[in-house]
Chains A and B, each alone.
Chain A
Amino acid sequence: MRKRLANAALLAVLVAGAAAMVFPFVWALVTSISPGAGLSATPSLVPENPSASAYQALFDRLPFGRVVLNSLLLALATAAAQLATASLAAYVFSRMPFKGRGVIFSVYLATMMIPMQVLVVPLFVEMKSLGLIDTYLGVFLPGIASAFGVFLLRQAMNSIPFDLDQAATIDGAGHFRIFVQIILPLIRPALATLAVFTFLNSWNSFLWPLIILRTPALKTLPVALAALQGQYTTQWDIVMAGSVVSILPMLALYVFAQKYIVQGVAGTGFK
């Protein structure tokens, strides 16, 4: 009896906590369909005259479709590039020993410690001298390789028995074939994890696109949203509609990849 009471209390606390976690999202959604929201003094969870006019305004007044597309393409390209560069490097660090490999791997790991903010000034200068300010390439290039991805995939590859590729070597398979036909299919969960993380980071990244992009039509979602907030401080419905649009793809991705995200965080070997 006491145990059941304790369980019920635990569940009640958890649900209350969950309510606090989702409430801001629900509120954002409700506000986005309430024209003229934010003017009343008491917040309401029931929209008075629900309408999609804020979404309409978002796409009419801003190149919002374009902005969503920008973010989507950049995030997809970054994820694809990182999967390619990281898996190739991880293969070497897991399967191709040579003198000095350990040192090179340490240098890779050390780059994880360098905060983006330290790089802001020189990277900006570099992009400027390459003529890449206000271009997608300028946003995209610094993100095409990450030591985190290499580390994550190497851990996954190390957990695959070496007998497998030794057998393939005896059968005459070269490294490229072992990499493509044996290793890659076996580390699919880790690849999915890296893809999701990279997509997420790129989709939500703010500081770097903020610095590089100037033209409104080129901006990514977070940058456009931050600008929107400055422009329409009183029109909360429009601002919230923009927020909802930015959350939805992440929500879909999260539902689809929940299993991998939890596994990925758990399986990085940091435990």
Chain B
Amino acid sequence: MTSILARKDRSAERKATEALPRNPTRRTRRLRYAATVALFLLPSAIPLMAFTVGPMIAALWISLTRWNLIGSMKWVGLENYQQLLADPATRNAFLHTLYYIVGYLPLAYAAGLAAALALNTKVPGRSLLRGIYFLPVVTSWIVVALVWRWLLNPDTGLINWLLHLIGIQGPGWWTDPVWSLPSIILASVWKDLGFIMVILLAGLQAIPEELYEAARVDGAGPWRRLFSITLPMLSPSSFFVLVLSLINGFQVFDQVYAMTGGGPNNSSQVVVQQIYDLTFRFGQAGMASALSWMLFAVILVITLIQVRLQKRWVNYA
């Protein structure tokens, strides 16, 4: 056994040593191959290094300094992190972000799933309907935020007008500290449900029809089929939605900036809005970078936990 292996190794080694110095054509071919690889990879590798990996490392360095973007940097070690951890504003920003995620995720998933299930049936006009549900996904957050600020205007908005018609005094929505985050969640669910629908539709179409037929023969009703076949078979798509929504949820910014700017009274101040304000309003680049890295660490840990947990509930065929 060992002798066979040893012989094999030696012959491979001989082949390799023979190939390199004695065969110049082979060597040029190899060089040319390496040059081609480099030529093909560098157009993407250089920008990724220069504008993603490099800045990422630079952010870690900046986070250890006190710096206002203009003057000189002053090394402060871990002071920024300590200050951030002690500052109630940081805790609030993370709590608001968490509030957003906890409110947004179940609603968006349920709405997206309902739309996907309904539009996976042979309902008339379904491709037009799918298109309509997807429409908000292709629209800029700035536009969506404009329209929703207006729909949710406490005095002149449509929603409070409708509520008034059925005798309900509508809340102050984004002008009210209690309702600012729910307003943002409402608009976000409306905007994103089409995207979730499309991912889940792709998953639904991959479920073999025979499973449903077999279940029907066994006398399983529609609810039983949903919970025993559809949802388990859909779990890889659901996992993808969950991972993506959580990453995006922690990074929520555009809608907050455009709908409330973090207000009123900091009631919707989320982490990224805080990073933005620290950098461009207060000129605390070091502090902002430290908060960015804290956020990145949280996203990384949560994504890794999900990848670990997926074995418990995700079925891969």
Contacts and interface: CB of A to CB of B under 8 A. Distances in A.
Interface of A: 7, 10-11, 13-15, 17-18, 20-22, 24-25, 27-28, 38, 40-43, 84-86, 88-89, 91-92, 96, 98, 104, 107-108, 111, 113-126, 141-142, 144-145, 147, 150, 174-176, 179, 200, 203-204, 206-207, 211, 221-222, 225-226, 229, 236, 239-240, 243, 246-247, 250-251, 253-255, 258, 261-262, 265-267, 270-271
B3 interface: no
Q: Which 9 pairs across A and B sit closest by C-beta, in order of nearness?
A: A266-B202, A122-B55, A122-B58, A145-B44, A204-B140, A145-B47, A85-B44, A142-B51, A118-B292
Interface residues of B, number: 91
Given A38-B156, A222-B142, A239-B146, A118 B296 contact: yes
Nearest to A116: B251
Contacts of B131: 254-255, 258
B198 A88 contact: no
Contacts of B300: 113
A111 B49 CA distance: 9
A117 B295 CA distance: 9
Nearest to A92: B40
A121 to B, nearest CB: 5
Nearest to A224: B142
A77 B132 CA distance: 28
Contacts, number: 259
Interface in B57-84: 58-59, 62, 69
A86 B133 contact: no
A11 B124 contact: yes
Nearest to B149: A229
B135 A25 contact: yes
A98 B37 contact: yes
B230 interface: no
Contact of A222 (B140, B161, B199): B140
Contact of A250 (B133, B138, B253): B138
A96 B37 contact: yes
Given A117-B295, A226-B258, A22 B236 contact: no
12 contacts: A10-B121, A98-B34, A111-B48, A115-B292, A117-B295, A120-B292, A121-B289, A126-B51, A145-B51, A207-B253, A265-B202, A266-B205
A235 to B, nearest CB: 12
B217 interface: no
Interface of B: 33-34, 36-37, 39-41, 43-48, 50-56, 58-59, 62, 69, 115, 118-119, 121, 123-124, 127, 129-136, 138-144, 146-148, 150-151, 155-158, 161, 190, 194-195, 198-199, 201-203, 205-206, 236-237, 240, 247, 250-251, 253-254, 257-258, 272, 275-276, 279-280, 285, 288-289, 292-293, 295-296, 299-300, 303
B116 to A, nearest CB: 12
Given A96-B36, A113-B303, A117-B275, A86 B44 contact: yes
A18 B129 contact: yes
B78 to A, nearest CB: 18
A96 B34 CA distance: 10
Given A14-B118, A204-B140, A121 B240 contact: no
B189 to A, nearest CB: 11
A157 to B, nearest CB: 12
B140 A265 contact: no
A141 B52 CA distance: 11
A18 B44 CA distance: 41
A114 B288 CA distance: 16
Given A111-B52, A120-B275, A204-B142, 20 more contacts: A7-B121, A10-B123, A24-B144, A38-B150, A88-B44, A96-B37, A96-B40, A114-B56, A114-B296, A115-B272, A115-B295, A117-B275, A118-B296, A121-B279, A123-B55, A124-B279, A126-B50, A126-B54, A250-B140, A258-B134
B120 to A, nearest CB: 11
Nearest to B293: A118
B251 A21 contact: no
Nearest to A149: B44
A11 B123 contact: yes
Contacts of A236: 150
Contacts of A115: 247, 250-251, 272, 292, 295-296, 299
B44 A119 contact: no
Most buried by A among B52, B134, B195, B250: B52
Nearest to A196: B138
A222 B141 CA distance: 8
